[in-house]
Amino acid sequence: MTSYLKTTILLAGLTAIFMAVGFLLGGKTGLIIAFVFALGMNLFSYWNSGDMVLSMYGAREVDGYSAPEFHGIVARLAERAGLPMPRVYIIENDQPNAFATGRDPEHAAVAATTGLLQRLTPEEIAGVMAHELAHVKNRDTLIMTITATIAGAVSMLANFGLFFGGSSNDERGGNPLGMVGAILAAILAPIAATLVQMAISRTREFEADRIGAEICGRPNWLADALTNIHNSANHIPNYQAEAHPATAHLFIANPLSGASMASLFSTHPDMGERVARLRAMAPQTGSFTGGFGGGGFGGGQTTPPRDGRSPWGAPPQGGNGGNQVGQGGFMPQNRRGPWG
């Protein structure tokens, strides 16, 4: 079964769960209302989801002047992927992470945290952004937003039904199970919706890893990035994501602080398995072509030391560059982009 067919089936299953909750709470009338509500939510998500998510995280748009190196990486990768140039955003957050959003490639946006830009090497950043552009190319951004919307609505509707106890069964088609139906919906529906959301997200993450590795041409860059993100994210909380847990699946790595029980319901695949798959791809994938010449940065150096500086190095002594966080950039303004 292809990943696209599996995703379609899972999305249909998630919608069916939502409609089943409506039936348990309101019988035929509840089923119809749930169906109409699901359509309305999907339409709203289609047109507004991207800007809503960016606003939740206080993302700041940057361009080739305010963040030339980061913007240049995204531009070159988008060209390699055959995609329109997405909007580029930076999120003020110490946890290294990134996500993509938007209803289609023509309205896409990619966002990276300050922690990612400061802690990862240029190669690793390229691997991460290639992964996010793979989501754009696959139109996962729309799929995952709709998934989050329906899953969140399932929980909301189930809790609503439990609070009011459900309607009684009558000639108007009320709840056939009364309070029992409301309790079942409140307990089982959110769990089922979460499991389906996990399955969809994990399927899309594996596919984005594979295509992202093909876009950047170096699977090990993404593998190294995932390893470093995972190690850092475990020790650095993301309070914005904690406040909006329904958006956690959008990130390249789970941004939520997870105890062992929470990890069972993680929307992301096991990081070790993701890294292993990428390592296995490495011998089969050539180096960059079409402008990513040399396979590295700065005379063949491919793994600059992580010493807390900007990933493109410290500014020249006496210069006025540095980490231009306040102005939207991170790299010295008098340095060339990593690809020349």
pLDDT digits 0-9 by tens, 4-39: 665 667 667 777 777 777 777 777 777 777 778 777
Specify whether 242 is catalytic: no
Reply yes or no on whether the pLDDT at 284 is more than 90: no
Q: Are 86 and 110 in contact, with CB atoms under 8 Å apart?
A: yes
For 291-317, what is the mean pLDDT? 35
For residue 302, the model assigns a pLDDT of: 35
The H or E element that residue 172 is part of is none
For residue 3, the model assigns a pLDDT of: 52
For residue 305, the model assigns a pLDDT of: 35
Model pLDDT for residues 158-209, shown as the tens digit of each residue:
666 655 555 545 444 455 555 666 676 667 766 776 677 666 677 789 989 9
For 72-101, what is the mean pLDDT? 96
pLDDT, greater one: 318 or 94: 94
**Axis crossing angle, helix 68-81 with helix 122-137, rounded to the nearest 10:** 50
For 36-57, what is the mean pLDDT? 78
pLDDT, greater one: 239 or 300: 239
For residue 142, the model assigns a pLDDT of: 76
Closest Cα to residue 147, out of 194, 100, 203? 194
For residue 312, the model assigns a pLDDT of: 34
> CA 168, CA 22: separation in Å to the nearest integer?
13
For residue 326, the model assigns a pLDDT of: 35
For residue 106, the model assigns a pLDDT of: 93
Please identify which residue in the block is written with the tokens 């989801």: 49
- First CA to last CA distance, the chain: 43
Q: What is each CA distance from 50 to 128, 240, 334, in whole angstroms? A: 19, 16, 33
**How is the chain split into domains, by residue range?**
3-287
The string of DSSP codes covering 39-97 is HHHHHHHHHHHHHHHHHHTT-EEE-TTTSHHHHHHHHHHHHHHT-PPPEEEEE--SS--
For residue 22, the model assigns a pLDDT of: 76
Q: Of the residues 123, 124, 132, 205, which is catalytic?
A: 132
